[in-house]
């Protein structure tokens, strides 16, 4: 397909809508039954399939019912640190740790309190 960054948003939304419609039809699901299962209106399903995705919440519901929610997995996965990133993180934390004062307090030198 090429570089997705070169496509206009409306083209991307249209392709997503087409794909969702294709998935729905392959699973032999009507628009009405998808709407009911996803708890959205029939017009919302029609709009999504036409590339008019206005509500992310509705979009998530439709993906879940169609079994395609996993396409978003990379967005919620925790990124692992590389060994060098971990090393830098640990050493930065050690440098930022609070240090105690180096001077000693004389045991015999007590300040007089005004209390």
Q: What is the pLDDT of residues 20-60, one digit of tens each?
A: 999 999 999 999 999 999 999 999 999 999 999 999 999 99
What whole-number distance in Å separates Cα of residue 69 and Cα of residue 95? 42
Return the pLDDT at 88.
82
Nearest residue to 16 (alpha-carbon basis) of 51, 44, 45: 51
Q: In this prediction, what percent of the chain has a pLDDT beyond 90?
A: 61
**CB pairs under 8 A, 24+ apart, for 94-99?**
none
Do the Cβ atoms of 13 and 51 come closer than 8 Å? Answer: yes
For residue 85, name the pLDDT band (cuts at 50, 70, 90).
confident
């Amino acid at each position: 397909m090429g570089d997705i960054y070169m496509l206009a948003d409306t083209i991307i939304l249209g392709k997503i809508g087409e794909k969702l419609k294709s998935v729905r039809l392959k699973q032999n699901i009507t628009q009405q039954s998808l709407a009911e299962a996803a708890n959205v209106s029939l017009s919302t399903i029609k709009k999504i399939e036409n590339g008019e995705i206005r509500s992310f919440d509705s979009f998530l519901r439709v993906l879940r019912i169609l079994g395609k929610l996993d396409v978003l997995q990379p967005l919620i996965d925790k990124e692992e640190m590389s060994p060098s990133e971990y090393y830098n993180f640990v050493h930065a934390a050690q440098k930022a740790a609070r240090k105690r004062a180096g001077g000693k307090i004389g045991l015999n030198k007590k300040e007089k309190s005004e209390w």
